[in-house]
Structure 1
Amino acid sequence: MNARTDISMKTDEVLRVELQEFRRQHRDLDEAISALVERATGDQITIRRLKKQKLRLKDQIAQIEDRLTPDIIA
């Protein structure tokens, strides 16, 4: 089952809770990446892995927001 199908089967309330959690995780990753970069001791492979994880979360957040935001017919 792909992520798009998984999202379509969940209630709006479940999606709102997941959205809140994904946003928190995204912020946490952003802070971790910043800390590693500032110290200049951060392993580049670790930083790259964290950035990829952050991008995956951003995609999931966008998919959930799209599902929760009603389409406006102009």
Structure 2
Amino acid sequence: MKARVTVMLKSGVLDPQGEAIRHALGALGFTGVEGVRQGKVIELELGTTDRASAETEVKAMCEKLLANTVIESYRVEIA
């Protein structure tokens, strides 16, 4: 079973990397981009076949290691 975790800065938290990307896109001629939020995607290969326990386990991983829940939010997808 696979899990995909998407981690993004919470809204209201300054995103300097996103701002740098927005600025670079403008310099390359891509006008109309008013905002960019940069995040990360983590893909996990899990040894379980139980979807509910996999989701519970991955959420625990996020809370303990994969995301800084003070400033980041995360989304878990199980496939």
Greater strand fraction, Structure 1 or Structure 2: 2
TM norm structure 1:
0.28
TM norm structure 2:
0.27
Higher relative contact order (CA 8 A, sep 6+): 2
Greater helix fraction, Structure 1 or Structure 2: 1
